[in-house]
Chains A and B, each alone.
Chain A
Amino acid sequence: MIEKREALAKMFSAKGSKINTNRGAEYYDSLMQTMNKRLAELEQTPAAGKVSITNVLEAEGLDRRDFMKWASAACAALMLPSNFTPLIAKAAELMNRVPVIWIELQDCAGNSEAILRSDAPTIDELILETISLEFNETLMAAAGHAAEEHLEEAMHTFKGKYLCVVEGAIPLAMDGLYGTIGAKAETFKDHLLRVAKDSAAVVAVGTCATFGGVPAASPNPTGAVGVQDIVKGKPIINIPACPANPANITGTILHYVLTGQIPELDHLNRPKFAFGYRIHDNCERRAHFDAGEFVEEWGDKGAQNNFCLYKMGCKGPMTFNNCSIVRYNSGTNWPIGAGHGCIGCSEPQFWDKYAQERPMADTHFKAPTGGVEKTVDEFGLGLLTAAGIGIGIHAIASVIAGKKEGDE
């Protein structure tokens, strides 16, 4: 039994991903040159909007030191060495050179709520606000014209240069009429295709825009799909989660500003810097998992001692995201901190696979099987029932072993 336990422990304590965080001096030197060149070019281009982050920060009463602290954290989040920090700061200042057109489709506004106004006006959010301001300004400045013309104009002026950010799913059933927009009642699908057509890249924000999310949950009454099912022939970046963490959205746009390219993505088009690890890999309760200490029932002794939530349905071992590091609401808390398991909200079809309060081993989903120790690329479409059962076995095995040790 002990041998089996060790084998399983080894299996599950292995890093979930094979992201290379140190690629050697040559790589970083060359990357820095590319970035310097890119930023120098950007600096020569006219700003898409009048508002600069420097002024915004000043008006909000934040000083340069706060800004540099943020830049340093953003640098780490993008998995770059710390000598890139000044470049990050410069890129943030040049963000108004990259026009962004932000559209909202079949959604609950949770991402907007998370990002644009409600919670903490951290520097991440201010930067996003600055970006969306440009968009508003671009579209709304010329009063007296029909709004359609404003959009056309912006798309024409910044043809091939703007990022198209999308929130919400796209309903395809009933010829797309479950969602219409504008005085001409254009369907969400047509609207998306029109705006995405001349963009440099499309950024899908939140799980509805990336994988269909809530509206696409079974039986998917409106035939909802994600952006990548509709838009073809464009680079697509998916930033899932419900809601998406503002830090990951800023990170992605920063990367684009820095390099003129989209960040390195996994097979689900998610940036690896944010979705390269499983929740489980960096979970604050991980030690309890390894020690075989589990919450068995809500509010029990285990819960009072912050034990592992796997048996209460935590999907941290199947979910790739950085919540365990970044947390929410200015780092105040996160779901596992508040005693509830992860529901896998950054994974495709999580409403039908993960969002329940029982462990995977107890569910009856049919899902593609695969090896347990998988990288983010190989981990695959959703869940591994095998992994669920495997962890279940470990949970039982380690509890027995733990008890034994305790008895001695």
Chain B
Amino acid sequence: MAAQSRAAHPPGRFSRLTLRQRFYIVAILLLLPAVALRVFTAFYPFLQTAYLSLHKYNPAFDHNGPVFVGLNNFARIGSDPVVQASIGFTILFVVGATFFQLTLGLAVAHLLNAAFRLRYLARALVLIPWAIPMAVAALGFRWMFDDQFGIIPDLLRTIFGVQARWLIDPNNSKLAVVSVAVWKSTPFVALVLLAGLQGIGRDLYEAARVDGANAWTCLFYITIPMLMPILITTGMFMIVWQLAVFDLPFLMTGGGPGFSTTVIAQKIYLESNSLNYGYAASISMVLVGIVALVGVVGLYLFRRFDVSA
């Protein structure tokens, strides 16, 4: 039933038995490269991670190899003060950033799709944040947000009279890091949505205008429903991807002040770097669990809206 609903065409198109077998073969051949790549680089390592997550293993100390400890590692996560301290910001970072990336991304996509003279310039400009390496963006923004040397506090002070400390303030630092994440990845979302916008037939809008619809009605009754599958796909991807991001906060604030910009992925990074492979694997498995949940919810929504679209 799900397969039926995903296909936008009437079922039974390929129902002739003679063809069906040929289609299976074609499907297998088409899927083979992608599946082979994923098996080689993701499924096998995944099994290894799942195995390690049930073991205590640090090659620097456990010289006799991994020791089976059952769910001990998972119990430890629950009581780990660093993990506890980072859950709040992880959610804020992932959900907050994704929300603004999608909404601003849709706005930017409209700008890029608008018929105006500088459209091509805008389309080239938009990729700049996405094209800047994360390490450079993080370090650059650390300088730009610096309360002594930075241009952002300086501009906010001179233009808007905002007197605030940024990266050393436990709350403002969160805002700063999320803003940079939004700045960095909105172009990516905008570009995907732009391709989606271009796929919507003009006749739909023309028909709507004839019926007296204004821009807002068009947005809410044509654009957003038509884009829903892509919005869900992209939103889901941004959530999943940003759950594993640690380089931006880590390089911009070191996860500080205190733990205010520490994300869980940073914990995995530091634990793996300290060779605590067992514990790092168990935190990864929790992350995988969360992602799987997001993925299932996302796919459910995707199927629903895909039918209605």
Do the two chains belong together in a single complex? no
List the interface of chain A (C-beta within 8 A of B): none
